[in-house]
Amino acid sequence: MTENMQVGMYYNNSDVRLETMSVPKIGDRELLLQVEASGICGSDVLEWYRIKSAPLVLGHEVTGVVSQIGKEVTKYKPGDRVFVTHHVPCNTCDYCLDGHETACDTLYNTKFDPGGFAQFLRVPEINVDRGMLNLPDDVSFHEGSFIEPLGTVVRGSRNAQIGVGDNVLILGAGTAGLLYVKMAKALGASTVGVTDLNPYRMKKAIEFGADYATNARNDVPAEVQSAIGGLANKVIICAGALPAVEQGLASVDRGGTVMFFAVPKPGEKVSIDLTPYWRNDVTFMTSYASAPRDSSEALELIKCGVIDVQDMITDVLPLEDIAKGFQMTAEGGESIKVIIEPNKK
C-alpha cells in the first residue's frame, strides 16, 4: 500500500483543499478503512461550528471496505463492507445507563483519524468495538452513508414519541428535515407539514410524503391552521435560524411537543414567555446525534425499504471536487445530499 493518500482539508466553507498526508498507522485493536462513500452533512457547513477547529479533515457519514486489521481484531476482516460511526458512547456511565448516550463524555471525545473525506481512515479501538456495522450486500455504500444521519432522526423521533395520528410540523427541509418527513410517515403520522425558504426542497418534501409545505416567510402558524384545521402536536425544529424557533413555538398545539433538533448559534438567545406553554402542558425537548442502537435501527429501516434514501442523493463527486461539493451543500439550491467518493476518479 502507498504511504500517502489524498484528503479534503477544510479551512472554511469556501476553502476546502485537496491535500496529501500519510496513511494512518493502525494499532493491534484498530483497523484501516478504505473510504468508498462519505456524505457531506449540514453540520459540515456550519462555519461557526467548524472553523474553530480548522484546518481539519471532516466527514462522518462513512462507508467503506476494511483494508487492514490489527492483529487482535476478530470481528472484522479485510474486504468487509462496513459502515463506521465517528462518535460512540462508553456504555457504562450514568448517562449511558439512563439512555442518554449522546450526553456521554466519551461520545464527545471519540472520532476518526483523520475523517471521512480521505482515501483511508484509522478506526480506533472503541469505534471498532461498538461503532461499526457490516453492510448487507443489498445496501450500497451510498445508501449506507445515510445510516448516521438517519440514526439521528431515529433517535429524535423516539425522543419526541412521533406515532400514529400525530400532526407533525418540520421546520427546515434539509437532509435531516426530509428524513423526518419519511420517518414521521413511516411511524403513522396523520399529517406532516414542512417549512423552508427553498422552493426545490419544499417540492421534494411533498414528493417524499409531506402533506403540505409552506415558505418560511409566510405566517407559519396560520398556514398550519389552514392545512390541518388546528396546530401541530409535534413540532420538530430542523433549522437553527431564530425565526424558525419562533415559528415553531407559535405552531404547537396544547399538550404538544417542541423538539429542538437544530439550535441557534451560541450566544443567540430566544426570549420566551413560558406562561402559556406551562398552562397548555407543552413539552420542550432536544435531540443530539445518535447512539449505536440508533444506527442499527437506521440500517434495518434502509435494508427493509421502509426508508428510501436513494432518492435523496442529488450529487456524487470524486474527492478532487470536494470544494464544489461543499459549495453546493452550503448554498442549498437544487441539492439535497452530496456524496464524496474518495477513491473514485
Report the pLDDT value the prediction gives residue 1, as an integer from 0 to 100. Answer: 66
Report the pLDDT value the prediction gives residue 2, as an integer from 0 to 100. Answer: 73
Dihedral (CA of 155, 339, 132, 109) sign: negative
Query: Does 151-286 match 4-146+309-341 at the fold level?
Result: no
Give CA–CA dist 106/104, Å, rounded: 5
Parse the chain into domains and list their residue ranges. Answer: 4-146+309-341, 151-286
**CA-based angle 182:185:188, to the nearest 5?**
150
- Regarding the domain with residue range 151-286, which homologous superfamily does it belong to in the CATH classification? NAD(P)-binding Rossmann-like Domain (3.40.50.720)
Q: What is the pLDDT of residues 98-118, one digit of tens each?
A: 999 999 999 989 999 999 999
User: Which secondary structure element, helix H or strand E, spans residue 226, and what is its range?
Assistant: helix 220-228
Please say whether the beta carbons of 193 and 213 come within 8 A. Answer: yes
SS3 content of the chain, % helix, strand, coil (to 5): 35, 30, 40
> In the chain, what is the straight-line distance between the N-terminal and C-terminal CA atoms, in Å?
18
| Report field, pTM of the whole predicted structure over 0.85 | yes
Give CA–CA dist 278/79, Å, rounded: 56
Please list the ranges in the chain whose pLDDT falls under 70: 1
Burial of 2 (0-12, 13-18, 19+ CB in 10 A): exposed
Report the pLDDT value the prediction gives residue 214, as an integer from 0 to 100. Answer: 98
- Regarding the domain with residue range 4-146+309-341, which homologous superfamily does it belong to in the CATH classification? Medium-chain alcohol dehydrogenases, catalytic domain (3.90.180.10)
Q: What is the pLDDT of residues 36-47, one digit of tens each?
A: 999 999 999 989
Dihedral (CA of 161, 166, 168, 174) sign: positive
Please say whether the beta carbons of 286 and 237 come within 8 A. Answer: no
Give the DSSP letter of residue 333.
T
